[in-house]
Every structure is written in structure tokens, then in C-alpha cells.
Amino acid sequence: MLTSTLLAATFATTPLQWSPVVGVIMILSNIVAIAFGKSSIKYQSVGPELPSPQFFGGFGLPALLATTAFGHILGVGVILGLHSLGRI
């Protein structure tokens, strides 16, 4: 019963293929997330240091992982939203 309800609620779309546009959107989403993390994370360099921290904006490993994870979540949302609108 529940399975048929869930299947009825889904809609058919064409599968999303990777393209350079999708890559650029993901890169820009990560840049936005890192900029947001840079301005909002109070203790950025706490935890294990990264090699060459000047290349990572002074982030420690936990801050870098958090901001890039948020960037990927943001990027997936933007990509799927644009795909459902038919823009990509």
C-alpha cells in the first residue's frame, strides 16, 4: 500500500547527466559555502591542521570538511532545482 502511494507520488524525469555546467555550478556552490564559513565559523583553525594552511584560508580540517560538505549539499539543491525547471 505504502509502496504504491510512493510510486504514484514520484514523477518521471530524464536522468541528469554530468556536464561542464553542472561542474561549474558545484564549484561556485562550494566557493559560496567556504565564503559563508569564513565569515561565520568562530574557531576556524581548531583541530588538525591541513598541509599548507595558507591555501585553505587558515581553516583546520573540521572547518574545511564542514564547509565543503555544505557546499555539496547546496550544489546538489541548485543543480536538481535547475534541472527540474528545465534550465540544465
Decide: helix, strand or coil at residue 19.
coil
Specify if 48 maps to a domain: no
* Cα 74 to Cα 26: distance, rounded to the nearest angstrom: 8
Q: 62 is in which domain, residue-wise?
A: 33-41+53-88
Specify if 71 maps to a domain: yes
DSSP letter, residue 40: H
In sequence order, the 6+-apart residues with CB closer than 8 A to the CB of 71 are 26, 29, 30, 31, 32, 33, 34
- What is the pTM (predicted TM-score) of this model? 0.75
Specify if 8 maps to a domain: no
Number of folded domains that form the chain = 1
Q: What is the pLDDT along the chain (88 residues), one digit of tens a residue?
A: 566 665 665 555 567 888 999 999 999 999 999 899 888 888 887 878 778 767 777 788 888 899 999 999 999 999 999 998 988 8
